[in-house]
Structure 1
Amino acid sequence: MAKISISPIITLVLILNVVSYSEAALGAHYYDQTCPQAESIIYQTICNASIYDPKVPARLLRMFFHDCFIREKQGCDASLLLDSTPENKAEKDGPPNISVRSFYVIENAKAKLEKACPRTVSCADIIAIAARDVVALSQGPWWHVLKGRTDGRVSKANETIDLPSPFSNTTTLIQSFAKRGLTVKDLVALSGGHTLGFSHCSSFSARLHNISDPSINSKFAINLKKKCPIHNKDRNAGEFLDSTSARFDNDYYKRITMGKGVFGSDQAMYGDTRTKPIVDSFAKDEKLFFSEFAASMVKLGNVGVKEDGEIRVKCSIVN
């Protein structure tokens, strides 16, 4: 079987114990005694899935963001994984999450963990570890994931309105991140996750046809219009968010400095004095971006962690 290289990996020593954004303490060594093989099981599952489907890394990274960003006090609790019921429409069926994919990868990892360490590793922790692993597998940074989250029991589609939009302006994004204890630097760093991203035309075609957006590179706009014509009938049509879509790097920021940000929200960061200097610094220094991205992922992973959840036996349903 082919192997995926995880080099180069930048190992970062980050906060290992209590983080102020949490209601419960998390730790890098949380499963050392109760399920020491947890991270290796998750890693191997991610590797295998990524070999057979190159879209898995981008999808799992996006899954982590979308799970953690629902309501500032709910945070990373795997509520995104819950299926809808006749009585309740869940997050995964909310409009922004219809395109979230590869839930099966998390379920496969969970099934293996239930055999090795029953009722021990939360689905929320699996998502957090998987997000780190797919970044590393894509030649990005590696960091210590703080663990000990529990899984939430509530998932409501109407709360997906809280997710950042590709149409948002920078002020709206800054305010949204601030509610979760995240800074302007965190906003710019975490936006770098788009280096692995692909977007369908519906998320950016308005800035090509409905309005005149002077921030977009004119030649780039012409190319996008060809891929996404006004009467586009190809639902799969779209554009990668940087030119090295399978590699985690700083190309995303370089393209923004050239007016080639696909999302209006991404390009807007270069027109705002609060975010432009950070974009420039990440475009010039990939190691700096890696370091700040890893630190911001740790912070995002600790938003709204709570003690009153459960350890689901199956990630798609409550116990």
Structure 2
Amino acid sequence: MPELPEVEALAAFLRENAVGRILTRADLAAVQAIKTFDPPLSALGGLEVTGASRHGKFLDLDVSGLHLVVHLARAGWLHWRENLPAAPPKPGKGPLALRVHLDPLDADPPAPGFDLTEQGTRKGLAVYVVRSPAEVPGIDRLGPDAMAVDREQFAALLAGRSGQLKGALTDQTLISGIGNAYSDEILHAARLSPFKMADKLTDDEVIRLYEAMRAELTDALDRQLGQRAATMKGEKRSGLQVHARTGLPCPVCGDTVREVSFADTSLQYCPTCQTGGKPLADRRMSKLLR
């Protein structure tokens, strides 16, 4: 799932490549992706792209005061094309959800633009056309951004949360921008169990967690900025220490990275670095180690 560093880097990429161009048209290929009807998608045609920004994990393209807001969900992505086909795409079951055409820099084609795609059968990519980003329900509920919250505010948020750290870090209404991958990385860097209770942290643990969050996100963002959209996924994978590395040695201590699976997701962690050498049990079968 694209998270804060990737979405911020995509916004930067669009500021460099799309801002200042006219959005000539937007072709919807997956009807279920569009979540709004007023203004219609067609209202964007002929307007200038004037900005690109991020709200948590939402990507926001400002089109002369209207906003094309996208949540890429678990398997969505943005693909920049220097030469888009002129013919509208055929609606169907393929990965293409939306195609956005921009005017060429020269008078003649090729005309650039981008595709929004989503792999797999479980479709969650969402597209909104709104007059204000605050009209998007997910944005309206966002907590403070993970890169903007200070340590005192971070401590207060955790102190008021009666749940496990993994869930606290990924709760977008508490702290926005962090998903499954970077929460694993942050907890590993902070040497904390994903199942430790958020409101039971010591002052030292809060400081470690906050500093790990800032460091992991800053490092990932530094590596992503300047990348083309096509290379961002690979850059993300190359920097991961434990997430999606089940069975491989921990780069810090050499212990085997382990996994806990849930109904539709999983987490990875290092027992030596995070849980005193003890493996975590699957909650579906037994009580979790805290």
What is the TM-score with the length of structure 1 in the denominator?
0.28
Higher strand proportion (structure 1 or 2): 2
Higher helix proportion (structure 1 or 2): 1
What is the TM-score with the length of structure 2 in the denominator?
0.30
Larger Rg computed on CA atoms: 2
